[in-house]
Amino acid sequence: AYPGRYQSFTDYKQANFGTKDAVERSYSAYSNSQHERHQAKQHMERMIREGMCKVPKPRLVPASNDRTKLFTPQCTILHRCEDDTGCCGPTQTCAPKTTSEVQLYFYVQNVGQRQQNTIALTFSNHTECHCVQRSSSSVRMQSHNLLEHSAEGSEGTGGSSSSSSSCTCPGPFKSVNDGTLPCYCDCLSSDQVCVRFKEGFESFSMETRKCIRSKRCTVPQCEYGIYNSHEGRCPKKSDRINEQFSLYR
């Protein structure tokens, strides 16, 4: 077989190998093709070594979201499993498989005051990553989570009734019971670690996700929507904004 732009195989050979210049052009084209293939292979091998969603990468994280206090340093370095730290398929996202808590010390002072103290803050550090399926439809997933959340609210945890005085909450959420509603899991306003989970900046470990999925743990209260069981975290504020804009696209 020969390319369609040639009338015969002889014409093809003559055009590509009939003269010294033609041979050099053909060899150059072949060499370029081989070089590009080699470069693509090297790039692929490098991404397999360095870009896999397996080992968490260091990322700068704010010390706290508390605007009434000044922390020094203002940020710290934690290891993270996110879309910009690990490469997954087009329908997947890089998420933490295991996590551990780390305690770090900061200088802290109230805004407008000079007195400075030290404080220990606890952070969630990702220790292993893996690829998980993204939600194919945010609206559909939130509807699914709403049904799941309602089922848990009616069934309680561990088979107990909805009038149970306490919940089994995923750490660092706390059980809240005001006497009029079934217990629920929320954050203390002073617990900045918990607030990061509530606002979607942290993902729950696989153990915690399984606990929630099996209904042994109560679904946590989220700041910007309903807990996403598919991604194992609360939605971020940006997720809600993107979802609202997607309705007008």
Going by pLDDT thresholds of 50, 70 and 90, the confidence category of residue 18 is low
Residue range 111-135, pLDDT digits in tens? 888 899 999 988 888 999 999 887 6
Domain of 66, in residue numbers: 57-133
pLDDT at residue 139 tops 80: no
Which tops the pLDDT comparison, 148 or 71?
A: 71
pLDDT at 149: 42
Within-domain flag for 214 = yes
Task: Looking at the structure, tell me whether residues 96 and 177 fall in a common domain.
Answer: no
Residue 2 in domain: no
Is there a domain that residue 1 lies in? Answer: no
Residue 8, pLDDT > 80, answer no
175 and 235 co-located in one domain: yes
Distance between CA atoms of residues 205 and 127, nearest Å? 10
**Lookup result for tokens 């002889």:** 10
138 confidence band (pLDDT: 50, 70, 90) = very low
Lowest-pLDDT range of 23-27, 66-70, 238-242, 244-248? 244-248
* DSSP three-state, residue 182: coil
Is the domain of 85 the same as that of 129?
Answer: yes
**CB of 165 within 8 A of CB of 177?**
yes
Same-domain check for residues 162 and 80: no
pLDDT range class, residue 25, cuts 50, 70, 90: confident
More confident residue, 149 or 112: 112
Say whether both 148 and 210 belong to one domain. yes
The better pLDDT of the pair 96, 1 is held by 96
With b for 16 or more beta-carbon neighbours within 10 A and e for fewer, the 204-219 pattern comes to: bbbebbebbeebebbb
Phi, psi of 112 (to 5 degrees): 90, 0
Number of domains in the chain: 3
Q: What integer pLDDT is reported at residue 56 of this predicted model?
A: 94
Q: Can you give the CATH number for the domain in which 74 is found?
A: 2.10.90.10
Give the whole-number percent of the chain exceeding pLDDT 70.
Answer: 72
pTM over the 0.75 mark: no
Q: What is the pLDDT of residue 99?
A: 86
Is the residue at 225 inside a domain?
A: yes
Query: 4 in a domain, yes or no?
Result: no
Residues 168 and 222 in one domain: yes
Strands (E) across 81-201 are located at 92-110, 117-133, 174-176, 184-186
Same domain flag for 87 and 129:
yes
